[in-house]
Amino acid sequence: MNIRKCLLIALAILLAMPTVGCTKGFGLEKTVAKAYNATAKVKSCRVKGIYTYPSRTSEMEFVAPDRIHHKTTENDYWHEAVQIGTVLYFRDSNSEIWQATPMPPIYQPQGLRYLDSLVKLKKLSGEAIDGADCFHYTAELDINAVLQKQQAQLQAEMAMLEPKGPSYHDHEYYEQQKKGLEKYYEQRKTSFESLGGTEVTIELWISRQDYLIRQVKEETRVAMPEAKKEKEKWVTTKTLQFYDFNQPIKIEAPQLSDYANFSSDIESTVGGEEPKHQQISYHISITNIGTEQANNVWVFVFSPATNEGLGMIEAEPPSKSRVNLNPGERETYNATWEYDLSKPSKKELSRLLEQTSIWAMWVTPEDEERRQLLFPQPIL
């Protein structure tokens, strides 16, 4: 797959991905806000999804702080993904070979989207879900609020992609990613606006005992252009069932294809006299162990351990320009940036560095773009 397209897909997934976040400014009832916080703090859980139009099912596992395993099945087709830190592994039924691509980390269970964009919250009669006595709420989705949040997230993704490395950084690459994400957002915005009479209702079932969200149901009603009556709508639903909270769940990186173009030796250091001006450095040596020349080779570090948050830092070779590597040739790349350690703890920095990934990208003699995960060391 074209690497630019692949990274764009990964970021587009992030923009559409439901996540849990802070409850400040909700204006919702205390029970919902409390449930939001409780579910965000779970160490692990599983989520089963049932969808209509198109009919499909999904199974998701989450392990804190940043591991997700997700599989969706639709008739004879399935898609599976595992994410650990900043690495997304994926495959589908068309090709069962695992691949990897950079992806911003996920810190909470998926499936709780829009809980900070609900209006007209109402309390319904309580029900039991999987044996748990639950509060039962219904609300409507504020689509304008959703669009505003997506716009803010889009701007955050633009900041992440903005070149932070040396002067020879691929600015054309950045511009292409930026235009692609802007186009994706405009398409989503247009689809919302063109629906006009769309209504989305959210139902929540919250355990009375531990305030964990046990079930979320989303019903979308879309006004059909050819409808003879004003009230005729096309209806689709999604039901997510949460269970196995804080149970032992293991998510490991899958085995990638045995193809590798580069071997690598990587060293990292963190140091400096003042906590506010620490230097994070990576020294990355790669050797072309393939059978053909690798052209325009570049290496980058994808890390949340920057002062600006998640960032893509290009590593420099001694020539300070892109290099071509013939079989057997070796090159060393260096990436260094400043980090303010006066506020976060060393434990927090260690966690962020564990989520860091390092990638090599190059162009084959056939003018095809390729990528390879260098760190964490992939299982081949």
The pLDDT score that the predictor gives to residue 21 is 35
Least confident range from 168-172, 173-177, 337-341, 364-368: namely 168-172
- Is the pLDDT reported for residue 373 higher than 50? yes
The pLDDT score that the predictor gives to residue 20 is 37
- Is the pLDDT reported for residue 95 higher than 90? no
Domain boundaries, the chain: 3-243, 262-375
Q: Is 144 exposed, middle or buried (0-12, 13-18, 19+ CB in 10 A)?
A: exposed
Question: Which has more pLDDT, 137 or 54?
Answer: 137
- Is the pLDDT reported for residue 348 higher than 90? yes
The pLDDT score that the predictor gives to residue 181 is 67
pLDDT band at 173 (very low <50, low <70, confident <90, very high): low
Question: Which has more pLDDT, 289 or 108?
Answer: 289
Output the average pLDDT for the chain. 82
My answer on whether omega of the bond before 104 falls inside 30° of 0, hence cis, is no
- Return the CATH architecture of domain 3-243: Clam (2.50)
Least confident range from 8-12, 44-48, 372-376: namely 8-12
- Is the pLDDT reported for residue 193 higher than 70? no
- Is the pLDDT reported for residue 11 higher than 50? no
Structure tokens at 349: 């920095």
The pLDDT score that the predictor gives to residue 4 is 40
Q: Is 298 exposed, middle or buried (0-12, 13-18, 19+ CB in 10 A)?
A: buried
- Is the pLDDT reported for residue 148 higher than 80? no
The pLDDT score that the predictor gives to residue 2 is 42
Are 36 and 112 within 8 A, CB to CB?
A: yes
Tell me the mean pLDDT in the region 89-104. 90
Place of tokens 């030796």: 265
Tell me the residue type at 191.
Answer: S
CA distance 40 to 36: 6
CA distance 11 to 154: 9
**Predicted TM-score (pTM) of this structure:** 0.80
Tell me the mean pLDDT in the region 150-165. 64
Q: Indicate the CATH number of 262-375 among 3.40.50.300, 2.60.40.1470, 3.40.50.720, 1.10.3720.10.
A: 2.60.40.1470
- Is the pLDDT reported for residue 284 higher than 50? yes
- Is the pLDDT reported for residue 321 higher than 90? no
CB atoms inside a 10 Å sphere around CB 52: 13
Tell me the mean pLDDT in the region 176-199. 65
The pLDDT score that the predictor gives to residue 158 is 64
The pLDDT > 90 percentage for the chain reads 49
- Is the pLDDT reported for residue 190 higher than 90? no
SS3 readout for the chain: CCHHHHHHHHHHHHHHCCCCCCCCCCCCCHHHHHHHHHHHCCCEEEEEEEECCCCEEEEEEEECCCEEEEEEEECCEEEEEEEECCEEEEEECCEEEEEEEECCCCCCCCCCCCCCCEEEEEEEEEEEECCEEEEEEEEEECHHHHHHHHHHHHHHHHHHHCCCCCCCCCHHHHHHHHHHHHHHHHHHHHHHHHHCCCEEEEEEEEECCCCCEEEEEEEEEEECCCCCCCCCEEEEEEEEEEECCCCCCCCCCCECCCCCCEEEEEEEEEECCCHHHEEEEEEEEEEECCCCCEEEEEEEEEECCCCCCCEEEECECCCCCCEEECCCCEEEEEEEEEECCCCCCHHHHHHHHHCCEEEEEEECCCCCEEEEEEECCCEC
Are 121 and 115 within 8 A, CB to CB?
A: no
pLDDT band at 279 (very low <50, low <70, confident <90, very high): very high
- Is the pLDDT reported for residue 264 higher than 90? yes
- Tally of CA atoms within 13 A in the half-sphere of 361 that contains its CB: 22
Q: Is 252 exposed, middle or buried (0-12, 13-18, 19+ CB in 10 A)?
A: exposed
- Is the pLDDT reported for residue 116 higher than 50? yes
Least confident range from 28-42, 62-76, 161-175, 193-207: namely 161-175
Tell me the mean pLDDT in the region 291-308. 92
CB atoms inside a 10 Å sphere around CB 278: 19
Least confident range from 28-32, 120-124, 250-254: namely 28-32
Tell me the mean pLDDT in the region 187-215. 79
- Is the pLDDT reported for residue 314 higher than 80? yes
pLDDT band at 232 (very low <50, low <70, confident <90, very high): low
